Chains A and B, each alone.
Chain A
């Protein structure tokens, strides 16, 4: 069964460093998302991406965050200068059509020290 894959599974970084989280969505999917889950809290929407541009972003997704789909397969989330409060599990998701479920990856755990 096709799946969304994410790398790395766990990254530890120092505050202020740049981090890139990578995702390979399901190959024929058109809609892409990043969510995050701070430990013990709810799953929060960060950003959605369609047709090579951001379609919606949340208040969390400030200027420190960016997304890119550089080569038609990868979908990356970059955090320019990490803060302690960016420590969370980041989930990538993709969706095939206008209607349908989101398929989630296994997540990338980011720990900012």
Chain B
């Protein structure tokens, strides 16, 4: 069965620090990959997605992620975080073959950015 692992459960950074959140998935076939963000008290919002093509994808708010197929990884990065990036970040994967496959989420990484 497919699964998603996020290695960092809680990350604390100062403003302007660089961010990298790890995500690994297990699935034998082709997948679509996503990062969602959940700001405190709010719903899930899509940060970025990878379907095919350039493995380095850019999302909103200066975030990017790199798909490394050989490592089954899709790590999220941002060169310089801001206090407003404080949120929970979820990596998610869905097989790209079927129509009604479900999106599987990682456990999430809670990011706290201090001014």
List residues of chain A with CB under 8 Å of any chain B CB.
30-31, 33, 35, 41-45, 48, 50, 55-56, 91, 93, 97-99, 101-107
Contacts and interface: CB of A to CB of B under 8 A. Distances in A.
A67 to B, nearest CB: 13
A103 B90 CA distance: 14
Given A56-B100, A98-B98, A99-B96, 15 more contacts: A33-B102, A42-B90, A42-B105, A42-B108, A43-B90, A44-B105, A48-B101, A56-B102, A91-B44, A99-B51, A101-B46, A102-B94, A104-B43, A104-B45, A106-B43
A48 B44 contact: no
Query: What 7 A-B pairs have minimum CB-CB distances, sorted nearest first?
Result: A98-B99, A55-B100, A106-B43, A43-B105, A50-B100, A104-B44, A42-B107
Contacts of A31: 99-100
A5 B87 CA distance: 22
A42 B43 CA distance: 13
A107 B108 contact: no
Nearest to B106: A42
Nearest to A47: B102
Interface residues of B, number: 24
Nearest to B52: A99
Given A42-B108, A43-B90, A48 B100 contact: yes
Nearest to B105: A43
A33 B42 CA distance: 19
Contacts of A45: 102-105
Contacts of A44: 105
Interface in B73-115: 90, 94, 96, 98-108
